[in-house]
Amino acid sequence: MQILVISDIHGNYPALQAVARDCANLPIKYVFNCGDSLVYAPFPNEAIDFLITRQAISILGNTDEIILRLLSGKNFKKPAKEEKRVMYTRTAAMLSHASQNYICRLKKKKRIDLKGWRIGLYHGSPADHKEFLFDNTSDVRFRELAIDVNADVVITGHSHTPYHKHIDGVHFINPGSVGRMFDGNPAASYALIKLSRHELFVQHYRIPYDVETVVAELQKQALPPIYEAMFRQGKKLN
């Protein structure tokens, strides 16, 4: 069984398309998505339509959560930077009814049982929706999480950092970010899990995509220019 694992799409449909093309000939059984599907790239409805069409098993990320606040008529204090607030308010205004309904149904975590494996999907960590887990996070922290998680596989996003660690019997997996990598390489990041009853194999991939399509749409919608630089450079600049 092969599982496509994605996270942190951030509305970047061209990057998502590149991932889909790269996997087109593979026997993908499931798509797992660990949240932050929206905000920062200007293709929110296309990204959500992809998740709906592929019947992805998705959870909420922190950016998605802020969009929910806006959709419910509430205000938001963070992020405070004006260029970020513009991206949130514009995304919320763009969402179709189908996209709104999809996001409104999502939860912060998901448990899946496959072939005897207990798999948990979380955005930040099993302990905290907004906790950042990196490839260089202390093994002590991963051991703390392993004690309480009651899962064999923990899949997270949020840090935009691809890794696979096997600590105290628990597989910790982050696929990286489809839509906004911060390591100086704008290529989309994703992971494939090959799962059998007794074995789990993880492979990470980086796939170039047409960044200029994203830049052109940002310009067309007169969105803050700093995001053009971020997508081109593959860096977090604000």
47 in a structural domain: yes
134 in a structural domain: no
- For the chain, give the percent of residues with pLDDT over 70: 100
- Which tens digits make up the pLDDT trace of 58-102? 999 999 999 999 999 888 778 888 999 999 999 999 999 999 999
- What is the reported pTM? 0.97
- Which tens digits make up the pLDDT trace of 177-200? 999 999 999 999 999 999 999 999
Q: For position 155, what pLDDT does the model report?
A: 98
Domain of residue 88, residue span: 2-108+174-233
159 in a structural domain: no
Q: From CA 221, how far away is CA 213, in angstroms rounded?
A: 12
Mean of all residue pLDDT scores within the chain: 96
Q: What is the CATH number for 197?
A: 3.60.21.10
179 in a structural domain: yes
Distances (CA, A) of 226 to 32, 40, 84, 100: 30, 11, 10, 27
- Which tens digits make up the pLDDT trace of 138-166? 999 999 999 999 999 999 999 999 999 99
Orientation angle between helical segments 44-53 and 82-94, nearest 10 degrees: 50
Maximum alpha-carbon separation in the chain? 52
Mean predicted confidence (pLDDT) in 213-220: 98
How many domains does one find in the chain? Answer: 1
Mean predicted confidence (pLDDT) in 21-26: 97
20: which DSSP letter? H
224 in a structural domain: yes
7 in a structural domain: yes
89 in a structural domain: yes
Q: Can you give the length of the chain in residues?
A: 238
51 in a structural domain: yes
Written as one string, the DSSP assignment of 130-163 is: T----TTS-HHHHHHHHHHH--SEEE--SS---E
Label residue 232 by pLDDT band (50, 70, 90). Answer: very high
